[in-house]
Chains A and B, each alone.
Chain A
Amino acid sequence: MFNPMIILSTSSYVPNALWLSAFGIYIHAITIAIAIGFSVLMAILEFIGLWKNDSDYLRMAKLLSRVLVVAFGFGAATGTLVEFGLVQVWNGVLIAIASVAFMPLYLELVAFILEGALLVALLYTWNKFSNPWLHWIITVGYATGALLSGVFITSVNAWMQVPWGVGGLVKTIYPWAPVYGPTVLNPDFLLTLKEALVANFVQGTTGSVLVNPIVIDELVSKYGTLLSDPLIALKNPYALPSVTHQLIATTLVGISWVLAGVSYKALKDPSSRAFYMKMFKTISIIAALLLILQGLEGHEMGVAVFKYQPTKFAMIAGLEKSGPDPVVGLTMFGDPNYVFDGFDKLLAMAKNHPNPDLTIAGLSVKDIAVSDTLKALEKLPTVYPLYMTKITIAVLSGLIALMFLSTLILKSFWEGKEKLLLYGGLLYGVLMPTIAGLGWAVREIGRKPWTVYGLLYPEELITPIEINSPVATGIILGIIIGISLMFYTIYIVLTKPPRILGGGES
């Protein structure tokens, strides 16, 4: 009988590496939220400023551009860290980078080049064109580049969540899984590789050492190439809701920080209160509308999880046992009594495996399916509370958003109560990243025990080099020094505007 505990004990440094990756990604996310959120907001404010010929909006847009350049530099640094972290700590992922992820990463590179070049342009060309709309086009170009980078990177993550293009391969192992699109990943190649990975896994060795020229050459000469459609990650139906959800969330977080900033200034700085209140009114409406949009889009994301990630859906719905979820049932199927599959059903499907005699590297697929479904069930007590906390905070934030929107029609009501709105703005700047952070945790923990859902485990992809405390400490220390410098620099930029570089007014 296959004993998962034996395997788990051999990968002692996987948790270290997972924590380290999570830390790196969250830190990177801070800069991404600034790069995307600030640039989208800049494009909107600059548009309003030019359209209304209002210098206040242009002043605010310039202020954002100063912070943007600092965050972009640090974003590039932490992006490199995440990229290397992926390649170096999870080097088995190279097999995906060289196949499914190649085209999205290639296109992301083009977007990144666009982003980098246009950032320089937008910084240096403030007030330089006789027609100021030309500068606005550059700003929009930069924001587009930043958003496109997000599109391509998220599509790679979406493929790791739902490996579209493997056809019925995952379903062959896990009976509860859907069929993941057409078969454009060579099943013989993939199965043979998986056999080798599982064999290594059982022996407590990482499979990443098999991503070598000899093994790849042998597999290619025997079965042909691994992938026949390099664009498959972009055709993944899970990619569109993922991209939309992530980009709205990221934009919202960035904008919420600006909102918190202007709220703070309006509360603390009486001399410039009028300016910051004016900015607050516009930015709070944008932030409120985005949250409502995210609520609607969240439904699409939920539907995608329901369709393609049965274990994750059971985790976030807290379905240890199958049963109805009135709200979700009503919104998804118009039926509050709709019975959703819980882990009991998924486990029963795994136990009544249609191919009980099938083996991978000597292990019965039935045992693998049962064991992995149980491992997913172990994550339910973590994922479910995280998800519920996220939803609760989202509801609370929704109330604040409604409060912001009400200023459009209840102007007289809010007169003399502006402080309440400003405190709401401050709170928004904390709640939005909290929701996004929780959402990302749900997304990532929810796909466990796999790194590529239903196909590859973290233990198969990790480096053979032990990720020990000194390694982790060094990286964390580097990041902390870096991020401290970033925040310090942003502080300097905001409090003592630079004379050099022409990044805005003196």
Chain B
Amino acid sequence: MTDITVPLYLLAFVVLTHFTFVNINIGLGVFTLILRWMSLKKKELEEVARRAFKFLVATEIVSGIFGTMITVVLAGLWTTLVNIATIVLFIPIYISIIGIILRLTSIIGFWYTWGRIKEYLHILIGIIMVVSSFMIPGGFRYIFAVIDYPVGLESVSPIVGDPIKALANPVYPPLIFHTLIGATSIGFFAAATGFAWASKKNDFLTPWAGKAALWGSILIIPQIIVGIWFWITLRQYSRYLFKSLMGGIGRFGASQTNVSPTFLGMILLAFILLILGFIYNSNPEERRYGYMLAPLAILALIFGEFTHDYGRLPYMVITGDTGYPAELFVNKLVVLNLANIASGLIPILGMLLLFITLLYLYLAKGFIE
């Protein structure tokens, strides 16, 4: 029996941190582009767009670093799983790679060319920035779809996959819509909270804090519909995971893992956010509502990801009511003192996170107030 505790928790830590910032980034990118586009007619909105974008830049640095960490943790500690993914999901991962290149360069381009090139060209770079941000989860979410329901994986040893067939995974469409709508909504809520804070000294941001909250809330409505679609899809194609998230409620049956509390928590948070967003928009002077939006949205995201990923355990790849155990995929080629590695990493990360947080606050303070 291989102990998977450290590799699993290390993966969970980097994935959840990365996802938190990535979701904020994606949404902030959309928000910035909308504002920038609107600023063509209302010049005063350019400053609002600029401030939203400055938030994006600060969070992008953290998500970028954690994205690199995920690659090392996955390839180093979950090696064979990565190998299966690279073969079966060659096309989606390829799309994500192109997305990463375009996303990072377009952010830098958008930042430094602001006010220095023709407006339509600047907006074009913004469009590349937003589209490429969708391309990244657009490809990588196939990995989650394939471990929920391994379409295209024809054999594990030797690894035989059908990359074209893998594209037709029925779990993927609801998952990707759920991801993209969710990310956009979270980004809007993050903007609402940031603007609420900033509006203390910059009153012109107050209505836009409310509008960001409103747009975030409105997006929860399609998110609920897509969520139900995803729920039905999991029931059909990934029964073990479905049972995990239902936790034995009603006649759905139970699995070895019960993630129903986080699943229900996520739903509850979605409804709270839906209502709170409307309330805050109706009176954006009440900043305390605005302050609550981003933390609640992030909590909902963490609950959702935890439900989706922890619910698979003790399996890593679900095949109906059972699956391939997670321990099968963990690296056994070398005896690594993982506890030492993790404990060595934690203080370094702690220091750097503190440092980045301080910078982030400095940036936000410098920019927003």
Contact = CB atoms under 8 A, between A and B. Distances in A.
Contacts of A492: 112-113, 116-117
Contacts, number: 219
Contact of B101 (A69, A80, A120, A230): A80
Contacts of A110: 345, 348
A80 B352 contact: no
Interface residues of B, number: 70
Contact of B362 (A80, A124, A227): A124
Given A102-B336, A116-B64, A212 B156 contact: yes
A228 B337 CA distance: 11
Contacts of A220: 332-333
Given A84-B97, A474-B94, A225 B111 contact: no
A77 to B, nearest CB: 4
A77 B331 CA distance: 27
Given A209-B158, A463-B90, A98 B76 contact: yes
A113 B157 contact: no
A243 to B, nearest CB: 20
Contacts of A248: none
Nearest to B50: A500
Nearest to B100: A80
Contact of A109 (B69, B103, B158): B69
Interface string A51-83: 000000000000000000110011011111101
Contacts of A76: 64, 68, 104
Nearest to B334: A227
A70 B71 contact: no
A482 B102 contact: yes
B356 interface: yes
A208 interface: yes
A230 to B, nearest CB: 5
B156 A74 contact: no
B335 interface: yes
B90 A465 contact: yes
Given A212-B156, A489-B112, A73 B105 contact: yes
A97 interface: yes
B334 A212 contact: no
Interface string A71-105: 00110111111011101100100110111001001
B163 interface: yes
Residue among A116, A120, A205, A217 with max Cβ neighbours from chain B (10 Å): A120
Given A97-B79, A489-B112, A81 B65 contact: no
Contacts of B116: 492, 496
A116 B163 CA distance: 35
Given A91-B86, A225-B334, A227-B334, A213 B329 contact: yes
A192 to B, nearest CB: 13
A209 B160 contact: yes
Residue among A73, A228, A499 with max Cβ neighbours from chain B (10 Å): A73
Interface of A: 69-70, 73-74, 76-81, 83-85, 87-88, 91, 94-95, 97-99, 102, 105-106, 108-110, 112-114, 116-117, 120-121, 124, 200, 205, 208-217, 220, 225-228, 230, 463-465, 471, 474-475, 478-479, 481-483, 485-486, 488-489, 492-493, 496, 498-502
Interface of B: 50, 54, 61, 64-65, 67-69, 71-72, 75-77, 79-84, 86-87, 90, 93-94, 97-98, 100-109, 111-117, 125, 156-160, 163, 324, 328-329, 331-336, 341, 345, 348-349, 352, 355-356, 359, 362-363, 366
- Closest CB pairs A-B (n = 4): A214-B157, A98-B79, A77-B104, A209-B158
10 contacts: A95-B79, A113-B349, A208-B87, A210-B157, A211-B159, A216-B332, A225-B333, A464-B87, A485-B109, A500-B111
